Amino acid sequence: MKKQDKILTIILIAGLFVFILSADLFFDSYIKRVLNLCAIYTILALSMNLINGFTGLFSLGHAGFMAIGAYVVGIFTVPVEMRSMVFYLKPMHPLIANIELPFFAALILGGLLAALVAFLIGAPVLRLRDDYLAIATLGFSEIIRIIITNAQSITNGSLGIKNIPPTANIWWIFGTAFVTIVFIILLISSSYGRAFKAIREDEIAAEAMGINLFNHKVLSFIIGAFFAGIGGGLYGALLGTVDPKNFLFVLTYNFLLIIVLGGMGSVSGTIISAFIVTAGQEWLRFLDEPLSIGSFDIPLFRPGFRMVVFSILLMLIVLFYRNGLMGTKELNWDMLKRIGSKFSFKRPKGGEAK
């Protein structure tokens, strides 16, 4: 990294810090909520991209890992005195009824538990490839959800848990997102990351080069699941409530959408598209409001229209950018400078770059 780029990066990080500080102080709770959701989706999409984009394993089990993280945070951070109120049908299991953990510990525990489950699932399942792996992981994520639904004395079953303390503020969430981004970038550029990419490109060639396929696949799967658990924990804490219906397999497609849109195998692409997809859906809300020209109400503008438009925009991107916005490329200062010099009459603008 050149010295100039280093300085630019430090300025960018400082700029982001100032941005979050001002967001925390001046933005209203609606905008903060959308920003928080963007950052949480960044964590989740990045962890999925590590498995799907960088290692080339077509896994669709993300909602399940998220559910584990969210539930661990839900179960262990609800204050003990409120528990009998939440678990009103069937009291909480006496083993865990009096254990209350601080938010950070619960978050890490959720990530670790998700990683453990990923290890147990991954060991047999990662011998499969492509579509078979997708189906098997999808199945496991549903199994996790159904176990949660039926373990009434631990998870409160389908009633869900509420009163999760709102610890997850903008600092927590953006801080975690930052740590995740840095960790994934370091991992990708380490020898492990290069091995992941080699497996993605050609398994046989990678194996011939001395890469232990199975170990690397499981490692990538476990790390991905760990961050999915962390992301899930933040998601649960942001909402203040979890229930099994949150984690239907459809949720996984949100992240699949983000990584396909941003580019399978691009960290910066994932970050950009997580923000675009999440904030974009909110921004398009004006399409749901009735619009009239003079006294004529245009019949198209009614609830649901924004999703139609959103889908059309997605199809366009997939049609014209076959590899997503970034492909496997990363946004770096050289690229920004090049874009900057192309439009030299405009000042170059830095995005979520690294």
The one among 313, 314, 318, 335 contacting another protein by CB under 8 A: 313
Closest separation between CB of residue 305 and another protein, Å? 9
83's CB contacts (< 8 A; 6+ apart) are 92, 97
CB count, 10 Å around CB of 294? 5
Burial class (CB in 10 A: 0-12, 13-18, 19+), 99: exposed
Pairwise CA distance, residues 268 & 257, whole Å: 15
Question: Is 231 a residue that touches another protein (CB under 8 A)?
Answer: no
104's CB contacts (< 8 A; 6+ apart) are none
Question: Is 162 a residue that touches another protein (CB under 8 A)?
Answer: yes
The one among 4, 22, 84, 158 contacting another protein by CB under 8 A: 158
Question: Is 245 a residue that touches another protein (CB under 8 A)?
Answer: yes
Question: First-to-last CA distance in the chain?
Answer: 11
Question: Is 351 a residue that touches another protein (CB under 8 A)?
Answer: no
Residues 260-299 within binding reach of another protein (CB under 8 A): 281-282, 284-291
The one among 14, 18, 82, 209 contacting another protein by CB under 8 A: 82
CB count, 10 Å around CB of 301? 15
Question: Is 160 a residue that touches another protein (CB under 8 A)?
Answer: yes
Which letter does DSSP use for residue 297 in this model?
E
Closest CA to 174 of 24, 50, 48, 49: 24
Question: Is 240 a residue that touches another protein (CB under 8 A)?
Answer: yes
Closest separation between CB of residue 243 and another protein, Å? 5
Contact footprint for another protein (CB under 8 A): 28-31, 33-34, 37, 82, 85-86, 88-90, 146, 149-150, 152, 157-160, 162-163, 166, 235, 238-241, 243-246, 281-282, 284-291, 301, 303-304, 306-307, 309, 312-313, 316, 319-320
